[in-house]
Amino acid sequence: MSFIIKREDIPHFSRHVISKGYTLFAPVKGEFKHSFKKIAENQVEDVSLDFVRTTMPPLKSLLIPPRETLLKIRNGKVEETLPDATSRTAILGVHPCDVNAMSLLERVYMDRPKDPYFEARRKSLLVIALNCKTADEYCFCTSFGTGPSLEEGFDLLLTDLGDRFLLETGSRKGAELISDFYMPRATSTDILEKDDTIRRVKGMIRRHVNTAGLQRIMIGALYNPIWNELAGMCTGCGACNMVCPTCFCFNMTDEPELDSGGTVRIRTWDGCLLWEYAEVALGGNFRRDLSARIRQFVNHKMNYWLNQYGSLGCVGCGRCIEQCPAGIDITRVVARLRGETP
Ligand code: SF4
Ligand code: SF4
């Protein structure tokens, strides 16, 4: 079902979501960029849906927090700190590439063995997605069919039509949320306007990855000199890993709690570009060279994912390109490996 919500009613709609018992996260305009924040009832006017991408991936940050306590050990007893799956969390304004990245993370974390922490958070999450109304020079979602619009994976879906938003339902949970929020039904003109918007945004996307036969090309390029060339540019900062919505690696450490005499087990994000990532006992490291680490990053997205999870592991969000201090661009790397002019 499709409805129309006036632009000025977004704060009212946000308040409605909170009134239904949801903890709401939504984009807020910052000094330089938008970022997703928890929205209290008196902050609904701050919700701003005019952005291309946030620096940090909103769904990964919510479902796998950058640092979380997995369990506590006190007096010899293990206490799991599982999130409450019956709580309600809603996230408003997530773009299609990030929703599709969440679907990829589900394959990783909800396959065998299931990660109970991810699962509990995913079960309690309601996704109000937002089709893109513009794109910038970093976007290349059309290469993977992961944007700029969505067909599935959302509970509710907004499309910006200027003075109003088209709101579509994608699940029973989404339909229930709006069942007592009055909105007029959308007309065929509204739907046509949505189609025009999506067509226009597709036309704005200039960056592409040619995925035809890509796995074969990547396998053939394992010893290509490009990896050494990139290692000469890369700083090993790991920013690409951290901002990537599909990078899912983590580290676990046991930390003593001096006041209680117990121990806490902490999970933190990790990344294959970081030197410590492949470090093992006694100072060994399987990927000492940056060339091996950057080759791993690109191959995992554009090659290994296919065997592991049945699809490529990139959604074309452009974050790794925008944030790389060395100007390394995964689309240009692939183009060069294909022998194409980037
Ligand atoms: S590899 Fe880069 S473009 Fe692809 S999903 Fe990750 S951050 Fe986005
Ligand atoms: S963001 Fe750029 S410089 Fe930093 S690790 Fe990734 S590729 Fe290297």
Summarize pLDDT for 319-339 with one digit per residue, the tens.
999 999 999 999 999 999 999
Tell me the average pLDDT across 159-175.
98
Closest protein CA for atom 6 of ligand 1: 244
Backbone CA torsion sign across 283, 284, 289, 295: negative
Closest protein CA for atom 6 of ligand 2: 240
pLDDT digits (tens, 9 = 90+) for 201-249: 999 999 999 999 999 999 999 999 999 999 999 999 999 999 999 999 9
How many angstroms separate the alpha carbon of residue 325 from the centre of ligand 2?
7
Give me the residue spans of the domains in the chain. Answer: 2-204, 214-337
Residue 217 to residue 214: CA distance in whole angstroms: 5
Q: Please, how many CA atoms are within 13 Å of residue 319, restricted to the half-sphere of its CB?
A: 23
* One-character DSSP codes across 243-302: H-SS---EEEEEEEETTTTEEEEEEEE--TTSGGGGB-GGG-BTT-SHHHHHHHHHHIII
Residue 320 to residue 301: CA distance in whole angstroms: 12
Backbone CA torsion sign across 105, 106, 112, 114: positive
Tell me the average pLDDT across 13-38.
97
pLDDT digits (tens, 9 = 90+) for 242-279: 999 999 999 999 999 888 889 999 999 999 999 999 99
Tell me the average pLDDT across 163-173.
98
pLDDT band at 76 (very low <50, low <70, confident <90, very high): confident
Angle at alpha carbon of residue 31, lines to 203 and 101, rounded to 5°:
45
Q: Which pLDDT value is given to residue 211? A: 97
Q: Is 244 in the pocket of ligand 1 (CB under 6 A)?
A: yes
Closest protein CA for atom 8 of ligand 1: 317
Residue 271 to residue 266: CA distance in whole angstroms: 16
Q: Which pLDDT value is given to residue 342? A: 65
Task: Give me the phi and psi of 106, to 5 degrees please.
Answer: -60, -35
Query: Could you tell me whether strands 23-29 and 89-94 are parallel, antiparallel, or unpaired per DSSP bridges?
Result: parallel
pLDDT digits (tens, 9 = 90+) for 128-161: 999 999 999 999 999 999 999 999 999 999 999 9
Q: Which pLDDT value is given to residue 260? A: 80
pLDDT digits (tens, 9 = 90+) for 279-306: 999 989 999 999 999 999 999 999 999 9
Q: Is 99 in the pocket of ligand 1 (CB under 6 A)?
A: no
